[in-house]
Chain A
Amino acid sequence: MRQTRGTSRREFLDQCLAGALVAQAGAPAKSKVVIARDPLIRTSGGALLKVLDRAVQAVYDRDNALEAWKRIARPGEVVGLKVNCLAGRGASTSVALVDAICERLQQAGVPARNIVIWDRLNDDLDGAGFRVATASGKIRCLGNDAAGYESDLAAHGSAASLLSKTLTQTCDAVINMPVLKDHGIVGVTMALKNLFGAIHNPNKYHSDVGDPYVADVNMLPPIRQKVRLTICDAITAQYEGGPSYMPQWGWSYNGLIVSRDPVALDYTGWQIIERKRAEKGHKPLKATGREPKYIATAADPAHRLGTNDLARIERVEI
């Protein structure tokens, strides 16, 4: 009789556990992309902080803003804010937004000396309204031209570059802070493309609509390992003529797009730009030969930098 019994208790429990694991693996967690907007964001510092807090809270699922900020960096870590200052004051990461983040990071226990604002060139930072500062003990702000690049090439796939020493030697964690805008060659420039500012030869990687170069650059270990969060400045966005500042094609989106998944963020931002282009009578990016194919490449099995699958992107609008 014993042999005819279907399943033992132990087998049953094993099967339950295996089933739970399979179910877990079969339904991977969604990538959350938070879009937080407020019409007062560009004029009121309070509104900016509020939007920022709510967005970061939503990303980290925390009720308390400070708790959410503490998730970004562990005690003692140096946090780099990779801003985008290529386009002068008009279409660069907002100084007010960076100030707000620095304030919150300090409240979360990151001392000023452990915060570094950085981009390609001191000139770029200066032109975007940042004050270049290298004194120790305070928040530092400097370009890669001042910090220097590593002497050995970092390579992945089609990309081989010297990485900024600020990224490799100074920072333990990076908050990526791109701007929501169109790009004349690769279609759009946000989270993934902003990391071109960490290498010495970004001009080499614009051919073929930046595909697969953008994805490959983001695969370089220091970039992949250190970027913890992307806060995309969408206060003023640009749907045409980028990455340079073209005021005639800019619009006030009055928001921030925040995510831990750079691919999902870029995909979401791309759709926002496409909608604006359609609204203004511009052709879709695909029709202009500028479809940002690198976003799909970044999500492919060879890169796995995030997801561009709408079904796996949880879009949260605040």
Chain B
Amino acid sequence: MPGARFRRWSQIAFLALFVFLLARTEFRGTLHGTRGEVRLPYPVSIFLESDPLVAVGNALATRALYTGLLWSLVILIPTLFLGRFFCGWICPLGTLNHVVSHLRKPGKQRLESNRYKKWQRLKYYLLVALLVAAVLGSGVFGTMDPISLTVRSLGLSILPALNYGLHAVCDLLYSTGIRPLKFTADALDFIGQGTLLSFRQPHFAQGFFLGLIFATVLVLNLRFTRFWCRALCPLGALLGAMSRWSILGLVKRESQCDECNRCLLGCQGGDDPIPGAQWRKAECHLCLNCTADCPDGGLEFRWFPGRANTVEGPNLERRKALGALAAGAVAVPLLRSSSGSDPRLIRPPGALEEKGFLERCIRCGECMKVCPNTALHPALAEGGLEGLWTPLLVARIGYCEPGCVLCGQVCPTGAIWRITAQEKGWSSGSGKPVRIGTAFYDRGRCLPWSMATECIVCEEWCPTSPKAIYLRPAEVTDSAGAVKQVRQPYVDAARCVGCGACEYACPVKDRAAVYVTSIGESRSHTNQILLRRERVQPALLPETGEAAGWAKSGATRAFPAANLWQYVDGDAERYIAAGIERTLTARYRYQDKLDAVADVHVMGTPEGARRIFEAEPATGSRAAALGDAGRSYGASVTFRKGRYFVRLTAYEEAPGPLEALARAIEARLVL
């Protein structure tokens, strides 16, 4: 029969497409050398976006429908006419279950297992509970969604294991030194890289357990045909419930039946195509095996078949349905009773605020699969029980790449917003960056802090511009009692975005001396460490006209200690050693004929300002009545006031006007 053959080809094609897209859910290239926005060339999340359960659950949880999920109509609308064709013809997990189920020998046991069982209703009760949970704002239905489960299991467990295994085989073949085996190894590697294998060997937390769950789902098929699809699949239940209105149905010509039961032997849905029993429309996968296997032509699928001998819907028991409803309602508060407060719960950049995130996230693992640094991993209890398998950043394994926004691109539900690299703002240094946390130092483990050893790795890796990690020279004593100078790292919380590069690169290998926690994440209004990230700086430099004849000829530029070298490279170190906080500078013009530059160095203490002032030779200067102490050199004036050290330099000698400008600055320096 051509119908069953078409179905078989359809299953092969969709499974191949699914695996291909999953294998391509990764960026194959170098982010450093990439110009513009990083994009994947394939619609890798199309299966999830077409998933009706994801669409319905997401809509119930968020009271809105995410645009991409409109693709689910491609499945939903035909289901209203055809029934559960998706389960029999398209679903990749269904296909895998089908294949494994088919491994069993045809016989009495298989025959018996293919009869309709009451426990097949379990999936409807499960669906009810999950949808009620969705109404209460939980996306926990994603843990049971078949597409989500398959993506998660294959992407985070099976494919990485396959990747590892194939490489091990290739390495073994290559190590033999025998030319044909080496060639085979090269060929295998080449083919693998071009098809299924990852660009880099990934490892994911819980990979073993995810694989174990998936294997259990498959192995159960050896006892009960398509056990998952019949008993547990909530998507199957949803489509089954909708198929009650389908106009395509099975017609049994019992007069032609010799009760050979062959129709039952290949039945995938357990929908009782045999004579003497009612055909269960909601269970049928439209695999067409029954019609193909019937030797007498007694079974036929037909439009508008009539309702005789057909059970239209799931046929649920009211009491159990109410129980499922109650279970769903109770499950959400129970799951949330152990809400996650782990400080290491760092969500990907662009993730919604935690409540919204848990509403939308379907735990599919696409974001984890696509992360080029394998930085995202499935959570266990870090986000509470409700957050099981949701993504969290494990910086020790990988850091969030500044120019990468792929996790948002592949997220099918908008739990991670589709931001651009510019909006992410980690490299550009402009605008308001999307922060995912803040770095902290464990000074007991940090080499410059506790072991008198120079190390600037974290500062080197810090990708923000200007850098959030800055170094300050300090005198330390080593174990031999020798005094030496090292640079000790600090974090500027106002600049840190929480990418985790410092933690990832920290050479203290077992437990890093710098670590990232979620505080300061942009998505939360409460999980903050600073009241305001960007401190409002008082205007210390006068505007045009404040000093007679002087006009300000440019905007004030500010350089924090960490970036002072960009203004005075080679001179910055002595200011840093004296404890500078920042430098403000502006250009001025006097009566359109004299140009000058004014620098206000804001030191940490008055002692720092005094140190700078007194370190400069006074030869050729005269005392100027400015601040706590001042000098005039003709073309230059310096003075200190409290923790401020001020320098004015002109390109010609003009002591009078320069001192006038210095007085205007002095007036603005509030102690």
Contacts and interface: CB of A to CB of B under 8 A. Distances in A.
B570 A247 contact: no
A107 to B, nearest CB: 31
A88 B596 CA distance: 10
Nearest to B465: A145
Contact of B595 (A89, A185, A242, A243): A89
A248 B620 contact: yes
B578 interface: no
Nearest to A280: B619
Interface size class of B (residues with CB under 8 A): 20 to 34
A241 B570 CA distance: 11
Interface stretch (A12-20, A201-209, A253-261): A201-209
A204 B570 CA distance: 10
A86 B585 CA distance: 14
B569 A196 contact: yes
B489 to A, nearest CB: 13
B617 A240 contact: yes
A90 interface: yes
Contact of A247 (B485, B574, B617, B651): B651
A248 B620 CA distance: 7
Given A151-B33, A243-B568, A185 B573 contact: yes
Q: Is the interface of B mostly helix, strand, loop or mixed?
A: loop
Interface string B647-662: 0011101000000000
Q: Is the interface of A mostly helix, strand, loop or mixed?
A: loop
A129 to B, nearest CB: 10
B510 interface: no
Interface stretch (B89-97, B283-291, B305-313, B630-638): B630-638
A203 B574 contact: no
Nearest to A283: B617
A203 B460 CA distance: 11
Given A151-B33, A245-B649, A282-B617, A184 B633 contact: no
A121 to B, nearest CB: 7
B341 interface: no
Contact of B649 (A86, A201, A247): A247
A282 B573 CA distance: 21
A151 B634 CA distance: 46
Contacts of B617: 240, 249, 282
B370 to A, nearest CB: 22
A248 B619 CA distance: 9
A183 interface: yes
A203 B572 contact: yes
A244 B635 CA distance: 14
Contacts of A58: none
Contact of B634 (A120, A240, A248): A248
Contacts of B649: 88, 90, 245-247
B317 interface: no
A281 B636 contact: no
B651 A86 contact: no
Interface string A123-146: 100010000000000000000000
Nearest to B571: A244
B453 to A, nearest CB: 14
Contact of B570 (A89, A184, A248, A249): A184
Nearest to B572: A203
Contacts of A243: 568-571
B355 interface: no
A190 to B, nearest CB: 13
A206 B570 contact: yes
Interface string A229-271: 0000000000011111111110000000000000000000000
A183 B570 contact: yes
A88 B32 contact: no
A186 B616 CA distance: 17
Interface of B: 30, 32-33, 456, 460, 485, 557, 565-566, 568-574, 587, 595, 597, 616-617, 619-621, 633-636, 649-651, 653
Given A202-B565, A247-B653, A248-B635, 6 more contacts: A88-B597, A89-B651, A185-B574, A244-B568, A247-B634, A280-B619
Interface of A: 86, 88-90, 120-121, 123, 127, 151, 183-186, 189, 193, 196, 201-204, 206-207, 240-249, 280-282
Top 9 closest A-B pairs, CB basis? A248-B633, A247-B635, A203-B565, A151-B32, A243-B570, A244-B571, A247-B636, A244-B568, A248-B636
13 contacts: A151-B32, A184-B573, A185-B573, A202-B565, A203-B565, A203-B569, A203-B572, A206-B570, A243-B571, A245-B597, A247-B635, A281-B619, A282-B617
